[in-house]
């Protein structure tokens, strides 16, 4: 099995047509054990109350964790995948414009 390329451009290409790509997640940096990305806040990411929907933040965090922090970028040779065991979030505030980075 060929090892996947581990860089932001490769991850950006792979997410086209999938949830992170559809949401607009922008890859900044990916390397084994680390990923940094951002999500520009657009109307389709907002809840009906006009604030950023919590699911948008969760999707960004899960994408970042899945791409770099111990998952895809860190898979051992021959591994075919992984699964998230647990994901937790706490929110103290929200946004209505700009971008969030993870």
| Domains of the chain, each with CATH number or no CATH | 8-78+94-101 (3.10.129.10)
Query: What radius of gyration do the chain's Cα atoms show?
Result: 14
Mean pLDDT of 67-76: 69
pLDDT in tens, 26-63: 989 887 778 889 999 999 999 999 999 999 999 998 88
Instruction: Choose among 47, 72, 49, 48: nearest CA to 62.
Output: 72
pLDDT band, residue 1 (cuts 50/70/90): very low
Tokens of 89: 């979030």
Mean pLDDT in the chain?
83
SS3 101: strand
């Amino acid at each position: 099995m060929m090892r996947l390329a581990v860089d932001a451009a490769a991850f950006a290409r792979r997410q086209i047509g999938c949830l992170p790509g559809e949401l607009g997640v922008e890859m900044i940096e990916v390397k084994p054990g680390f990923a940094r990305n951002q999500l520009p806040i657009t109307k389709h990411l907002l809840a009906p109350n006009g604030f950023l929907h919590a699911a948008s933040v969760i999707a960004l965090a899960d994408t970042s964790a899945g791409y770099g922090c111990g998952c895809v970028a860190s898979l051992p040779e021959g591994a075919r995948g992984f699964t998230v065991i647990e994901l937790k979030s706490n929110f103290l505030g929200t946004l209505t414009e700009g971008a969030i980075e993870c």
